[in-house]
């Protein structure tokens, strides 16, 4: 068991939640460590209680990072009891797009297929990711139950990949235009994060870049979204988050944009951000009714 304490992206939360942790569960069945997940089960739930599931997908430019520290997701356990799933996915030194998305979809199918075994509420699965993880959760929300994107990994092909909500922390949403939006890094070259993901210079792979972009793939069947993005993000331009929010609004999908004024790539995300995310999760993870609106919050460093 663990007793959680969160200190990440400027959000500090003490938690009294205890978990039983089941590590390295193989959601594909091939023994690949990059296709395994950790399952955190609350120990204080009743015998018949089914836990809602918060899925954490790590960042790292699709090239690094791991499931080992879902610290930001653990903050939810401060006030409410839920299960947490933190997943690995194949990185770009092993596989190119859409392998990363296929891995994440297979993990959701595994969760739903094993819901009874682990007493999970398969109707209340919310995905949360930051940076590259934000991109992946947004793609999952944009493409749920679309065969082209679902892939055929694991033992549970055909199981629904629908989820109840998406929390996107500063993830890329349109890979085809990132270099035109004022970023301080190159997003086009073959050695850029996006170039490694797509297999070469992005400007030579515009069609593939759009296939990998939530902005171009989302439709009116998408689940509710919350996007949190800093206006001064030097890596993923703020316009990436704002454009996806506008597209979702046009489609009639519930979309909440939390603008962190002067916020960086996660830097300056203080208690106001934590409060807004908690409100979204209260609605779509725990089933409470709350009024949610777009907000502008000041960065806290």
Q: How confident is the model at residue 150 (pLDDT cuts 50, 70, 90)?
A: very high
Mean pLDDT of 212-224: 98
Provide φ and ψ at 99, rounded to 5°.
-55, -40
Please report the pLDDT score of residue 242 as a whole number.
Answer: 98
Q: Describe the crossing of helices 132-142 and 99-113 by its angle, rounded to 10 degrees.
A: 70
Please report the pLDDT score of residue 6 as a whole number.
Answer: 31
Please report the pLDDT score of residue 287 as a whole number.
Answer: 94
Cα distances (Å, whole numbers) of residue 73 to 99, 103, 175, 230, 271: 24, 20, 26, 19, 15
79 pLDDT exceeds 80? no
Distance between CA 23 and CA 288 in Å, rounded? 30
**Which residue stretches of the chain are H helix?**
71-74, 99-113, 115-118, 132-142, 147-150, 193-198, 206-211, 214-217, 238-251, 271-284
> What range defines the domain where residue 157 resides?
2-298
Please report the pLDDT score of residue 60 as a whole number.
Answer: 98
Overall size of the chain counted in residues: 301
Distance between CA 209 and CA 194 in Å, rounded? 8
Residue 197 in tokens: 């993901």
Mean pLDDT of 35-61: 95
71 pLDDT exceeds 60? yes
Q: Say if residues 12 and 21 touch (Cβ distance below 8 Å).
A: no
What total number of domains does the chain contain?
A: 1
Q: How confident is the model at residue 78 (pLDDT cuts 50, 70, 90)?
A: low
Phi-psi region of 137 (alpha: psi -120 to 50; beta: other; left: phi over 0): alpha
Share of the chain above pLDDT 70, in %: 93
124 pLDDT exceeds 80? yes
Q: Say if residues 63 and 93 touch (Cβ distance below 8 Å).
A: yes
Please report the pLDDT score of residue 8 as a whole number.
Answer: 36
At 148, which CATH number? 3.40.50.1820
Please report the pLDDT score of residue 10 as a whole number.
Answer: 38
Q: With the C-alpha atoms ordered 81, 165, 177, 101, is the resulting torsion angle positive or negative? A: positive
DSSP-derived letter for residue 64 is: S
User: What tens digit of pLDDT does each residue of 257-298 get?
Assistant: 999 999 999 999 999 999 999 999 999 999 999 999 999 999
The three-class DSSP label of residue 202 is helix
User: What tens digit of pLDDT does each residue of 172-213 get?
Assistant: 999 999 999 989 999 999 999 999 999 999 999 999 999 999
Residue 174 in tokens: 């349109």
Residue 277 in tokens: 């995310």
Please report the pLDDT score of residue 145 as a whole number.
Answer: 79
User: What tens digit of pLDDT does each residue of 10-47 get?
Assistant: 333 334 468 999 999 999 999 999 999 999 999 988 88
- pTM of the predicted protein model: 0.94
48 pLDDT exceeds 90? no
Distance between CA 130 and CA 75 in Å, rounded? 15
Who has greater pLDDT, 44 or 242?
Answer: 242
Residue 265 in tokens: 């790539």
Biggest alpha carbon–alpha carbon distance for the chain: 55
Q: Say if residues 90 and 32 touch (Cβ distance below 8 Å).
A: yes
Share of the chain above pLDDT 90, in %: 87
């Amino acid at each position: 068991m663990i007793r959680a304490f969160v200190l990440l992206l400027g959000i500090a939360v003490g938690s009294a939640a205890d978990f039983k942790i089941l590590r390295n569960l193989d959601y594909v069945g091939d023994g690949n460590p990059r296709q395994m997940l950790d399952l955190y089960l609350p120990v204080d739930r009743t015998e018949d209680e089914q836990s809602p599931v918060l899925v954490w997908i790590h960042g790292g430019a699709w090239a690094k990072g791991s499931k080992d520290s879902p610290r930001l997701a653990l903050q939810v356990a401060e006030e409410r009891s839920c299960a947490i799933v933190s997943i690995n996915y194949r990185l770009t030194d092993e596989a190119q797009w859409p392998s990363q998305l296929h891995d994440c979809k297979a993990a959701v199918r595994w969760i739903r297929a094993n819901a009874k075994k682990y007493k999970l509420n398969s109707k209340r699965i919310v995905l949360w990711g930051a940076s590259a993880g934000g991109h992946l959760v947004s793609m999952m929300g944009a493409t749920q139950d679309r065969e082209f994107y679902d892939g055929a990994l694991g033992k549970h092909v055909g199981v629904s990949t629908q989820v109840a909500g998406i929390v996107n922390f500063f993830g890329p949403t349109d890979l085809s235009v990132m270099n035109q939006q004022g970023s301080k890094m190159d997003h086009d070259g073959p050695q850029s994060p996006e170039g490694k993901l797509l297999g070469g210079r992005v400007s030579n792979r515009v069609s593939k870049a759009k296939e990998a972009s939530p902005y171009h793939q989302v439709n009116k069947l998408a689940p509710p979204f919350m996007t949190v993005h800093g206006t001064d993000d030097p890596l993923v331009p703020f316009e990436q988050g704002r454009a996806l929010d506008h597209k979702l609004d046009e489609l009639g999908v519930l979309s909440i944009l939390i603008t962190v004024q002067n916020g960086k790539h996660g830097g300056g995300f203080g208690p106001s951000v934590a409060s807004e995310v908690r409100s979204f999760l209260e609605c779509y993870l725990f089933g409470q009714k709350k009024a949610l609106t777009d907000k502008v919050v000041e960065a806290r460093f």
